[in-house]
Amino acid sequence: MNIRNFSIVAHVDHGKSTLADRFLEITGTVTGDKMKPQLLDSLALERERGITIKLAPVRLKYKYKKPVILSEAKNIYPSATPQDDNNEEYILNLIDTPGHVDFSYEVSRALAAVEGAILLVDAVQGIQAQTLSHGLAALEQNLTLIPVINKIDLPSANIEKAKKELTDTFGFIEDEVLLVSGKTGEGVEEILKAVIERIPPPNRHSELRPKDDQPLADVSESQTNKILNQGSPDLIGVQDDVNGTPLRALIFDSFFDSYKGVVAAVRIVDGEVPKVGSEIEFLGTKATGQVLEKGYFGPQLIPTDSLEAGEIGYIATGIKTPDLVRVGDTIITTVHLGGGEKVALSLYLRGVPGEIEPLPGYKEVKPMVYVGLYPIDQDEYHEIKDALEKFRLSDPAFTYELEHSNALGAGFRCGFLGLLHAEVVQERLSGEFNADLIATAPSVEYMLGSELIHNPADLPQGEGLKDLKEPWVKLEIFVPQQYIGGVMDLVQEKRGAFKNMQHFGAQVQLSYEMPLSEMITDFYDKLKSVSSGFASLDWEFREFREVDAVRVDVLVGGEKVDALSVVIVRGRAEYVGRRLVEKLKEVLPRQNFEVAIQATIGGKIIARETLSSFRKDVTAKLYGGDVTRKNKLLEKQKKGKKKMKMIGRVEIPQEAFLSILKS
């Protein structure tokens, strides 16, 4: 079987999904009225926002007709294999990926499942932050890169500039760079040919190794022979458990189906998926499941009888507990021996006692931004919890833990990779699970002594927080030269420390180190403003550094709203406190009584605003007469408002938490 596994990586809006559409058309994977723009962007939110959020695998079938004789002098494709016979059919497993920095974990998972990648660059914009980030990530995994310049049909396309940036940055030879238009289809078929010619086929016979010093059981030679001969009376149904070669598969994505349980998207590294009904095991969680269905993505789920080494597909496991199936885990086939003992078939069929070595998997992702999510109706708490558990299957970068707020009740402290990630998750929870939630303002993770704290309300009160550390990030900004001044002023205002400047033609890469807390408010919007929308950025966590900061609390009607607490650098605390109460005054609904809005540090009030009450005209029905009657009604109203103030509780709307971002 001729197989090529590849991905498309690029900066956001450089045309990945449109190019994938042309692949689907050319290969006949999707035809006629079933074809629609950005077909692989299956989420409603992806279509609404016009960006790719989730990785999307699909199998393409392509007949390679015209062999290309590579120049021996240039030898520009050292990884290429000898040309196969003309008109042979190839299976091309494509994984489309997001381009925004907040979804970089989706890209890393896709790259671990393929042997090569198309590095796509916009002919107008050239190399951007995520072009560099994803390209270097692919090279770190020893993937073969195919450089492609897209949107060559645009009048403002600068092909030579983009080509020079690719050759200077990644060391490509000019003849390697392909020119295409995903919109018109020009040059697209040449990419499919290049995928076959340049990207190596998957290794379908990797060496299986036992895990050192972790034997499961001692197996005698005679017992091993019985296992190999599949004739042992103590062996329970080998032929029923396994159909063909043993299995080792990497889970790179998953989702929940109410009928099939957890469906795992997998790259088959060794062997083949056993027949329907066979037992499988997950090495990381030690959970067992059953092959209810196996198949490939077309892009919808298409069942098949065979899913072998080198292929990308899915396994419906029947497992109804989402936590048991984790992205990055290894699936194997198991055999039951006498006495209820269960062993890894991949090794025992070869007579090797011991535990099978799991596949490398993925580096565990670390959330950078934390938001409190609370059910508006507390009766829906358990339904929301189930929704979060199922959602985490499709987004392993999302984390959550239980928490309680005095103001909002029971809820969840959720971790995200960035602000866009947080927004997208909230919208998906609302759209896909009908989750009616209120979200607090985003915060970062702080370190107090040796303890990590995700919620500002959990920090101690007082004028100062000793031994408090905040996260700093390494920030890379790509911007045209004429906007350097404005960008540098902005980053300096946000406590950024300049590190380096590098030129890429008309583009400049500015390297900074900056507190993450300064990035999660309005930094991205201001960056786009000072650069007229041309700047792009990439960032990664650097380290925790000491910070002189205080906790600012908010009191509404004399009650502390813990969900509105924020950590602010001491020098800006009073300014932020004043801005915060001013914004809250604008968004809080008026009551039938006056409401005091106060910002405090410890027990000291640093800012106050008063939300005036509604005033009902209780004298409207009077038509003249004694003034004492009027005064009596006004005094009665005043007493009623005083009683309401004592027992009244102000409802905090979602806009109140958003106001923190603007303060």
Alpha carbon distance 414, 437 (integer Å): 12
Q: Is 286 exposed, middle or buried (0-12, 13-18, 19+ CB in 10 A)?
A: exposed
Q: Identify the H or E element spanning 381.
A: helix 381-394
Q: Is 17 annotated as a binding residue?
A: yes
Q: Is 62 helix (H, G, I), strand (E, B) or coil?
A: strand
Per the listing, tokens 């103590």 go with 234
DSSP conformational letter for 580? H
Alpha carbon distance 256, 240 (integer Å): 27
Per the listing, tokens 């009928």 go with 259
The sign of the torsion formed by the CA atoms of 459, 463, 465, 471 equals positive
Q: Identify the H or E element spanning 92.
A: strand 88-96
Q: Is 153 annotated as a binding residue?
A: yes
Q: Do 317 and 280 contact (CB within 8 A), yes or no? A: yes
Q: Is 16 annotated as a binding residue?
A: yes
Name residue 596's beta-bridge partners. Answer: 610
Q: Is 93 annotated as a binding residue?
A: no
Q: Is 499 annotated as a binding residue?
A: no
Q: Is 150 annotated as a binding residue?
A: yes
Alpha carbon distance 559, 67 (integer Å): 76
In the chain, the N- to C-terminal Cα span, in Å, equals 60
Among the listed residues 131, 652, 134, 10, the one whose alpha carbon sits nearest the alpha carbon of residue 660: 652
Residues 6+ apart with CB under 8 A from 16: 8, 9, 10, 52, 96, 97, 99, 120
Q: Is 13 annotated as a binding residue?
A: yes
Q: Identify the H or E element spanning 413.
A: strand 409-416
The token pair at 360 is 């490398």
Any alpha helices (H) in 27-122, and if so which ranges?
A: 44-49, 104-111
Q: Is 286 annotated as a binding residue?
A: no
Alpha carbon distance 20, 42 (integer Å): 13
Q: Is 213 annotated as a binding residue?
A: no
Annotated binding site: 13-18, 150-153
Annotated binding site for GTP: 13-18, 150-153
